[in-house]
Amino acid sequence: MFIITKEVYFCYGHRLMNHNGKCRHLHGHSVKASISIKQEQLNEQSMVCDFSDVRACVESYIDKILDHNFLLHKDDPIIPLLEAQNERFMAIEEHPTAEVLSKMIFQHVKEQGFNVDQVVLWETASANACYRED
């Protein structure tokens, strides 16, 4: 099995409703996402795929959906205030954790035809979440 990994960086804000710690407050992160693609065989250029193809796929999604966006659970009571101020945000079904974001990126890359092995999202320099399908 051959595996390549491409890293991308972006920023987002969120809060985790009903969290017992600091994460219940509005805050932001500068994150690194590592996207790993796998193949049993290399292509005609002896590659799993071109790193630039992975980057283009991931960066377009991140730029449009995640980067400098405020991610909230769909039931967050702050949503009407953000709407009234015409602020950018995205309401999602699940709580906007690193685990959920890594799954969102994974699913997008998979839908674009890549054979994704895993997506790791580094929320801080010492903490990450990984999503993969077995």
CATH label of the domain that carries residue 104: 3.30.479.10
d(CA 52, CA 10): 17
The pLDDT score that the predictor gives to residue 59 is: 94
Q: What one-character DSSP code corresponds to residue 18?
A: T
Q: What is the mean pLDDT of the chain?
A: 96
Q: How many domains does the chain have?
A: 1
d(CA 41, CA 84): 52
Q: Concatenated DSSP letters for 102-133?
A: HHHHHHHHHHTT--EEEEEEEEETTEEEEE--
pLDDT in tens, 4-57: 999 999 999 999 998 999 999 999 999 999 999 999 999 999 999 999 999 999
Distance of CA 9 to the CA centre of its chain: 10
For residue 94 the two structure tokens come to 């699940």
Domain extent for 8: 2-131
